[in-house]
């Protein structure tokens, strides 16, 4: 097939970019490498995307779009729903190499959709919060989510390269004498945020016993 003889769709470009993200990582996901994988000239990519950052924002959106819907129960409170949404978003980010870094970069540049934040905002919207708390709380939760998962993925990459961890990086044991999993550590940190937000509920003191219920 001659290079560029078949025009790839926007969806084709995003799908191949996701595959290359897993294979090469975000730093090596270049327009030239992507064009070669699609058997086109690099200039052909600009038919769909004005620049690389716009392309990466579209890839970021695709990762978030694949997060399964979280259907709240009628009796489920805002905190439980927020944690369920955060877990679903974390799983999606971990499904792609450098997923958290990619999504964080797109958000920092103001590119792409805001679906991840809106999911967290919707969860807080089930509580009796002022509008400012809903917005600021969603931002805080999203920043924790992206930072935590980015750290997880950096550690996984270091482990895959055989990098020896510093003695100072050894994780602390919990009360049972075991080192908590990354999932448990994520839940604990996220729950600290939820416990803090619970103090801002206007009509109640908040979900008593929440921390113990999600460990």
Position 2 in a domain? no
Number of domains in the chain: 2
- The answer on pLDDT for 118 being more than 50 is yes
Q: Supply the pTM of this predicted model.
A: 0.82
State how far the alpha carbon of 20 is from the alpha carbons of 24, 40, 56, 59, in Å: 6, 15, 12, 11
Nearest to 60 by CA among 9, 24, 26, 12: 26
- Which pLDDT score, from 0 to 100, does residue 166 have? 53
Tens-digit pLDDT profile for residues 37-67: 999 999 999 999 999 999 999 999 999 999 9
Least confident residue range of 6-10, 32-36, 51-55, 88-92: 6-10
Position 215 in a domain? no
| CATH number assigned to the domain comprising residue 142 | 1.10.357.10
Residues 6+ apart with CB under 8 A from 165: 158
Rounded CA-CA distance 186/144 in Å is: 9
Same domain, 111 and 130: yes
- Which pLDDT score, from 0 to 100, does residue 72 have? 79
- Which pLDDT score, from 0 to 100, does residue 163 have? 62
Instruction: Identify the domain containing residue 38 by its residue range.
Output: 10-63
Tens-digit pLDDT profile for residues 132-167: 999 999 999 999 999 999 999 998 887 766 665 554
Q: Give the residue-averaged pLDDT of 9-20.
A: 96
Rounded CA-CA distance 50/26 in Å is: 19
């Amino acid at each position: 097939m001659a290079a560029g003889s078949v025009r790839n769709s926007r969806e084709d470009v995003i799908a191949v970019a996701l595959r290359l993200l897993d294979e090469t990582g975000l730093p090596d996901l270049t327009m030239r490498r992507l064009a070669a994988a699609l058997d086109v000239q690099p200039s052909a990519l600009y038919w769909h995307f004005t620049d690389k950052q716009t392309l990466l924002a579209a890839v970021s959106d695709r990762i978030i779009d694949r997060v399964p819907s979280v259907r709240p129960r009628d009796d489920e409170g805002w905190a439980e729903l927020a944690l369920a949404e955060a877990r679903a978003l974390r799983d999606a980010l971990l499904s792609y190499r450098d997923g958290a870094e990619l999504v964080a970069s797109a958000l920092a540049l103001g590119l792409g959709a805001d679906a991840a934040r809106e999911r967290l905002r919707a969860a807080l919207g089930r509580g009796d919060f002022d509008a400012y708390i809903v917005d600021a709380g969603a931002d805080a939760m999203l920043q924790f989510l992206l930072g935590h998962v980015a750290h997880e993925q950096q550690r996984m990459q270091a482990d895959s390269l055989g990098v020896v961890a510093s003695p100072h990086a050894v994780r602390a044991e919990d009360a049972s004498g075991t080192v908590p999993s990354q999932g448990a550590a994520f839940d604990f940190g996220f729950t600290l945020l939820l416990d803090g937000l619970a103090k801002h509920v206007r009509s109640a003191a908040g979900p008593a016993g929440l921390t113990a219920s999600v460990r």
